[in-house]
Amino acid sequence: MNDQQLLRYSRHILLDEIGIEGQHKLLAASALVIGAGGLGSPAALYLASAGLGRITLVDDDDVDLTNLQRQILHTTARVGQPKAESGRDALLQLNPEIEVIALRERADDARLSELVSGATVVLDCSDNFATRHAVNRACVAHKVPLVSGAVIRFDGQISVFDTRRDDSPCYSCLFPQDGKFEDVACSTMGVFAPLVGVIGAMQAAEALKLVMGVGTSLAGRLLLLDGREMEWTSIALARNPACPLCAATRA
Ligand SMILES: [Zn+2]
């Protein structure tokens, strides 16, 4: 690290749990962020500010006026631009020392497999079950830890699915791929803006911890946030030994 980097990251380097060694791990890491919307915005901003070396932002949508209430990567001046590119501009303005790859696409299974295989950690900041399952499939196949978040109305949730560990469930252990879960979209149900900030920032925190090996991750725990009462509930998650997706890949 040069002098500018030592200054930029000094408040992390001061932490015993991080130090120079942890900062080097961040600079050498690659994070895949699926979705540059409400969750992806704060998540990617904190990954960038913390010096995570390479961030790949995937989103096939364009910035819309209705996004700006909560999607803090984007600006009024960038309405109509691709979200991935608007996000890249915001992240590089914050930290020009990192690499940001903007992909304006909706990645299918083959593409996700390719993208996940090169990632140190994956953040699912998408808004639908089809994408969440596709991201999980790729993460299970390549044993890359997945930080999963979701917010609707005044409710949020976050967990980590780390199939490098034999005791950690995958997303499908919790929500079976053939389950009857209906997507509820922000466009119809509404969403309380700061909640995506809370959950997205926590996704960044878990991702940074996983990269540096700091503390204990949320693997095996689901946190639920009731934003009306501002109360958290922690639920223990076990592996489903019969999970059709991950059972065969693990002991
Ligand atoms: Zn599973």
Query: How does pLDDT run across 109-159, given as a tens digit for each residue?
Result: 999 999 999 999 999 999 999 999 999 999 999 999 999 999 999 999 999
Binning pLDDT at 50, 70 and 90, where does residue 251 land?
A: low
Residue type, 184: V
Residue 250 pLDDT greater than 80, yes or no? no
Tell me: the pLDDT tens digits for 9-59? 999 999 999 999 999 999 999 999 999 999 999 999 999 999 999 999 999
For the stretch 58-70, what's the b/e string if a residue is b when 16 or more beta carbons lie within 10 angstroms of its beta carbon? bbebbbeeebeeb
Could you tell me if 57 and 82 are in contact, meaning their C-beta atoms sit under 8 angstroms apart?
no
For residue 200, the CA-to-ligand 1 centroid distance in Å is 23
List the catalytic residues.
186
Question: How far, in Å, CA of 8 to CA of 108, rounded?
Answer: 37
User: Which residue is it, tokens 């998408």?
Assistant: 126
User: What spacing in Å lies between the alpha carbon of 45 and ligand 1's midpoint?
Assistant: 30
Q: What integer pLDDT is reported at residue 24 of this predicted model?
A: 98
To which H or E segment does residue 223 belong? strand 221-226
Q: What is the pLDDT of residue 102?
A: 98
Mean pLDDT of the 182-192 span: 79
Contact (CB, 8 A) for 42 and 196: yes
Q: Please, what is the average pLDDT of the chain?
A: 95
Residue-level pLDDT at 176: 86
Query: Which DSSP letter does residue 36 get?
Result: -
The mean pLDDT of 220-234, rounded to a whole number, is 98
117-121, 128-132, 200-204, 247-251, range with the lowest pLDDT: 247-251
Rounded to the nearest whole angstrom, what is the distance from the C-alpha of residue 237 to the centroid of ligand 1? 11
154 vs 247, more confident: 154
Residue 250 C-alpha to ligand 1 middle, in angstroms? Answer: 10
